[in-house]
Amino acid sequence: MTESAAIEKTRILVVDDAADTRLLLNLRLQREGYEVFTASSGAEALDVIQKEGLPHLVLLDIMMPGM
């Protein structure tokens, strides 16, 4: 498997209450070939995981309300 093929299959979940941060990370990571999902809260992240399956990586804002 080539490195680019491995990257294309890598699933990343971005969890942040700031919409601009989610958008920026989503655009940048997709440009690099990753499959990206976003959520604005911990509860929404759990919903995404139930719907889409476990990601390979979670980028999480640790200073979100309710976390």
Taking domain 3-60, whether its CATH number is 3.40.50.720 is answered by: no
Per-residue model confidence as pLDDT tens for the chain (67 residues): 566 665 558 999 999 999 999 999 999 999 999 999 999 999 999 999 999 999 999 999 988 877 6
pLDDT confidence of residue 7: 52
Take residue 17 and report the two structure tokens written for it.
């209450």
pLDDT confidence of residue 4: 61
Return the ∠ at Cα 49 (arms to 54 and 44), rounded to 5°: 150
Q: In whole angstroms, give the CA distance from residue 32 to residue 19.
A: 20
Q: In whole angstroms, give the CA distance from residue 44 to residue 17.
A: 10
Q: In whole angstroms, give the CA distance from residue 60 to residue 35.
A: 16
22, 59 contact by CB (below 8 A): no
